[in-house]
Amino acid sequence: METLEGGELCFPQLLNSSCRKPVRLRFEATLLYILLSSVSLLTVALNLLVIISISHYRQLHTPTNLLLLSLAVSDFLMGLLMPGEIMLMGGCWFLGDLMCALYYTVIFIVNSASVGNMLLISVDRHVAICDPLRYSARLTRTRVQICICLCWLCSVFYSCVLLKDQLRWPDRYNSCHGECVVIVDHIAGAVDLAVTFFGPVTVIVVLYMRVFVVAVSQARAMRVALGRSETVTAKKSERKAARTLGIVVAVFLICFFPYFTSSLTGQDTVTSASSAAFDIWLLYCNSCLNPVIYAFFYPWFRKTIKLIVTLQILQPDSCKANIL
């Protein structure tokens, strides 16, 4: 529970125009900061491990892993931005109105890039499972690198257009000094809802459903070919494919849906420390969970973690180590 009445002023020298800090119980505030700081550190650490692993070891320089690397970079940057949100939880923004606008613009860019990377990964998995014979020819490293660059460029362009008014007049929505607020009107919110939620969700679900159907049919074909003795193994493969699909879609929906609730009801989307803290932190949690979903399913990642933690990565020619 928090209230602004009786709270300390963010800028005591501006008595009549300064925002007030929310009043919280000391235990509640301490627990909140510990929790949010832990999420930030975990997000940075997990994604940094993915970045180091894929960048260092040559065996991991594949088109699929380049997409995982791009996703890890976007989520790593999101983790670095989390301390700004922790500062906003204190009720005061001390870096000025322009930095507030730039801060949220960067968040929009990184978040859009993360969604774009997830979309590219779903396309990659669809081609790999549904058209394996032509996978190497269709998804070369050069084409994947071009797609990644386009993803980031589109994210920058889209976010700057979406928040252009905020960048022109950084303090237009602030009611007092020390406030950092971003408002996306209902029209722009509807566009954002389609571009960064419904569109990607639809494509991801359709592609992964096709992957699941193909995986199940392949497992059944193997079961028929190998006999009844392989029935249990085949069913385990089917369950694993279904579980992975469910996790990917469910986590994305859970983390993104609350933020777009206002757009669904036709209201303006307000992003501030007080009104949207829960929604924003759910988006941050998605960046923390992405390396778990997309990387921890790979045995090579567990092996590279061991090599990094034990400092074997510092040995000469460690980049040529047999990881796969």
Q: Can you list the domains of the chain with their CATH numbers?
A: 26-320 (1.20.1070.10)
Rounded Cα distance between 95 and 35, Å, is 24
Task: Compute, in degrees rounded to 10, the torsion defined by CA atoms 82, 256, 173, 102.
Answer: 40
Distance between CA atoms of 179 and 273, rounded to whole angstroms? Answer: 8
Q: How far is 238 from 113, CA to CA, in rounded Å?
A: 31
Alpha helices per DSSP H over the chain: 26-56, 63-89, 97-130, 135-138, 141-162, 164-168, 186-193, 199-226, 231-256, 261-264, 277-294, 299-309
> Do residues 90 and 21 lie in contact, with contact meaning Cβ atoms separated by under 8 Å?
yes
pLDDT for position 273: 47
Kindly give, in sequence order, each residue whose CB lies less than 8 Å from that of residue 249, ignoring residues fewer than 6 positions away: 201, 204, 205, 208
- Which residue type occupies 99? M
Encode pLDDT of 99-123 as tens digits.
888 988 998 899 899 889 988 988 8
φ, ψ of residue 295 in degrees (nearest 5): -110, -40
Report how many helices (DSSP H) and strands (DSSP E) the chain contains, helices first.
Answer: 12, 2
**From 1-5, 55-59, 250-254, the region with the lowest mean pLDDT:** 1-5
| Cβ neighbours for 71, distance < 8 A, ≥ 6 positions apart | 114, 117, 118, 121, 290, 294
C-alpha to C-alpha distance for 190 and 262, rounded to whole angstroms: 10
pLDDT tens profile 147-163 = 999 999 999 999 998 88
Question: Residue written as tokens 């778990």?
Answer: 292
Query: What pLDDT, in 10s, does the model give residues 188-244?
Result: 777 888 888 888 888 888 888 888 787 777 767 766 766 554 445 545 555 555 566
Residue in the structure block whose two tokens are 């949100």: 85
Task: Give the containing element (helix H, strand E) for 78.
Answer: helix 63-89
Of residues 203 and 173, more confidence is placed in 203
81: its two tokens: 């931005």
Distance from C-alpha of 39 to C-alpha of 255, rounded to nearest angstrom: 14
pLDDT computed for residue 136 by the predictor = 86
pLDDT tens-place string over residues 250-294: 787 788 777 666 555 545 455 554 445 667 777 778 888 888 877
Which pLDDT band, with edges at 50, 70 and 90, does 31 fall under? confident
Q: From CA 269, how far away is CA 263, in angstroms rounded?
A: 6
